[in-house]
Structure 1
Amino acid sequence: MLPLQRWRQARQRALLARVALDLVQTGRAAHLPSTEPEPHLLRAALFWREWGAICTRHLGVIALVVLIGVGEVQAHWSRWLLNPAPDLVHATQPPSPQTGSAIAGAMLRYVALTQEVADPLVPAVSQPLAVTDAFRTRHLLAEGETLGDLAERYGVSLATLVWANGLERGDALMLGQPLRIPRVSGVVYVVRPGDDVATLADRMAVAPEAILTFGPNHLDTSQDLVSGTEIFVPGGELPLDANLLARLAQRGAEPVGVLQVDEANLRQGPGTEYDRQIKLERGRQVALRARHEDWLKVEIADTLGWIRADLLRINADLVAALPETNDFPPPPPRWVWPARGRLTSPFGPRWGGFHNGIDIANRAWTPIVAARAGVVREAGWCRGYGYCVKIRHPGGVETIYGHLVAQPDVAAGDEVAVGQYLGGMGSTYDRAGGGYSTGVHLHFTILVNGRAVNPLSLLP
């Protein structure tokens, strides 16, 4: 191709490019070629004209999007500069003249920000917090709250609260009682002699690492468990009676008395003649239900019984508010030995006659007690016996205590409890009444409907 032709074609292309630029900028072509362009160049010009029209129609929208984007970037940058993150404050303090300029401080903030949000799809990796205590708080039990409510509120199992606070024995809860709330469900366990991590883990259905790696336990693989120390087993479980759990879920604060003596007897009725149900240790908490004279009807571990009020540490106002009741069974026929000593003469034939009781010998003034609860029918000098006591019991039963050393400590008409002191052992007798004694002893007789029976068949 001749140089002149190449020059003309190049000039046409330049004119078409100018036309396309005019179309984009103004929507019309200010420079048109004077000669007919080549077909492919004409198609290019038409394409640029259509594209320019589209850009013209949507130029406002495009400008608005660009403006919003620029504004958002600037606003985010300003907010970050004015309110640095708390954990970055140490890196964003204005530098002193000795350490740098304000620009250097801004660069520190920028570096920290870009490191923090460099990839929002990748979760941040942080050092786990060191847990030093197995319990998040101590909750003071308020009126109307139940253990079930607290388990739901703090997101732990009911059994966890039971084990954490020693409630598996069924003790009552008092208003304001502090309850330990573990961070997670599990078992609070006091190490016993011979315990080891592997055995406990197997017993509570967890991996040994759950015990070893729990921070508050302060254990490592080289340490043995120390007897008497308390550990927490995250996720651990121990068997608990389902009925007990159901009752504890509904249990809240109620009037409570605290045992202040060891081995207090919980009896079936308000008196020592009633049979003992269970023994309670010092510190146990019993729920108060009713009262009768000096005795209180209480409940613990789903067991109802009676206990003397003076054995409990209790608020006097709570006792006064309890209902008085007579709803209890009569005392059972309970017997105790009337004295300590040696059996010297049995019941039955003796010296050509009949001995209607037993003789128990010991030193003078050895205590003599009522073998069963009842009402004193006679007390003082008795025909044949010397000083004696006769007690009438329910069911047509009567007991006789003869040869006391002196006037008895009870009088006719007195109510006596089983085991109550009557007087001292002696050797008095009424010769005129046919009595006789060869030494210090107690003559003890039991009559059933007026007929003597062998005391050994009734005494324990």
Structure 2
Amino acid sequence: MSKEIRNDSECSKTDDKDWHQVTSIEQIEAAIKKEFSDESDSRKTVTAEVKNDKANWKIVLKKKNEKAEENFASEAKSLKDKIYHSRFMTTIRAQKAERFLAGAAVVLVLVVALVSVSVSTCYEVLVDGENVCYISSASELDAALKDLKAQADANTNADMTEAVLSTDVEVAAKHKVFVETASESELAEILQEKVSWQVPGAKIVVNNGESVLAFATLTDAQSVLDTLTQNAIAANSGAKVLDTRFYEDVTAEEGNVDAEDILTPEQALAQIAEGKEEVKTHTVVSGESLWSIASDNGTSVSTLNELNPGLREDRIQIGQEIKLNKIEPLINVVVDKVVTVSEAIPYGETVKESSKLMKGETQVVTKGVEGSKDVTYQISEYNGTTLEKVTLSEVVTKEPVNKVVNKGTATVATSSRSSSGSSSGVFSWPSKGTISSPYGKRGRGFHTGIDIANKKGTPVSAAAGGKVTSAGWSGGYGYCIIVDHGNGMKTRYAHLSKILVSVGDSVSRGEKIGEVGSTGNSTGPHLHFEVIVNGSTKNPINYLK
């Protein structure tokens, strides 16, 4: 280890008695230090080592200054004699304890730097009062700072003519013995890290220092703010702009700025647009939904849909990236404007009861047509966010046309024929074709409906308005539909090749609900049609018109 030796001529050398009291390697080191503390005759640089060489302890003195070789010879011999006769070395030899130390070299190094005639001088470099290094000459610091300033001039947007250091850099002469000094490159590296330059300039301060943008001149700073305002006005070309202002607290002011922070107006505009927050994304994993993703990330499903156009709950896939936030510029321009937009006027609906339609049936008499109006608003908004919206006026440009709908009130009669014996005609024929099998006894069984034969795919329509209560596979009936017409009346449509309605659907008379097929217990394509009154099948012929 290296030790610093004070420049103190009053220190006396170690006498023989002191050396006799030395009992440890540490005390040998201290004794050597004291031996060379008198620097009045400063001409030598010496390294003293105590080491074990093949279980034979030796004292080795090495010369650092070849010119002092002759003058040093007697002192080297004297020092070696004193160490050899110390109690520590005498005890080791007497107890033959060298074997316990044979595996390691215990080295005491004391480098004493002594200079001809007087103690050498070095220079301490302080940055804001903190020692950062030592140098051989004060001019080295001047040269290093000059180079650092030239680099800043070449690599920044700053005019370094009036540059000043933003940190306090001092150099102080020190009388040191055997101190390591920094090289030119080491000094440059230290200053590069510790020191910065300030130049006269300007800055845009956002929200009292939350964000600060530095510029070479106040003109540059003001041009950035002007450009932001002009861009906001241009984005509202279809409106009458009343006023603009910044949403944040924004000021432009002159003052010293760090040279390395200075931006051009173009760089500043890009930095403002990039915002202060990075875009965050989430990668979808198995078992997640939009709701769980929104909940885990402190947002809402509506916000996710807004940030990710086209996003659908039923189509998110594992590995898909979903944006969680949007970029907010550092500075936003609020635009107060008056704008007139055309808006649709929804049409109403008029419902008229009709005894000509079955209950549950509807008929559109007149289609509804939307109207339109011109609405004038006064709006305050920024970056797509509306702060205030006031309606100033509305002018109808087209009146809406209401939708007119007839709603059926008639019910299906439970009797199949009138007193004259004619058909009640409450149901329409459900499909075209020929009756291939009538209602009644058939062989040993009983046929509960009529079969209307036709080719596969022939349309099948609802015999009257009602609600679908069954739609699907039904054993021997194959694909089958049952429609409830109310008042205890139902109709069944069986052996279909295709079903076009679902349970719960409301259907109108003549509405296509399926297609002729040959599913279930069937020998060929046909529609099996039943009329069911209060749970019992009836002859459909008596109810068809």
User: TM-score under structure 2 normalisation?
Assistant: 0.26
More helix per residue = 1
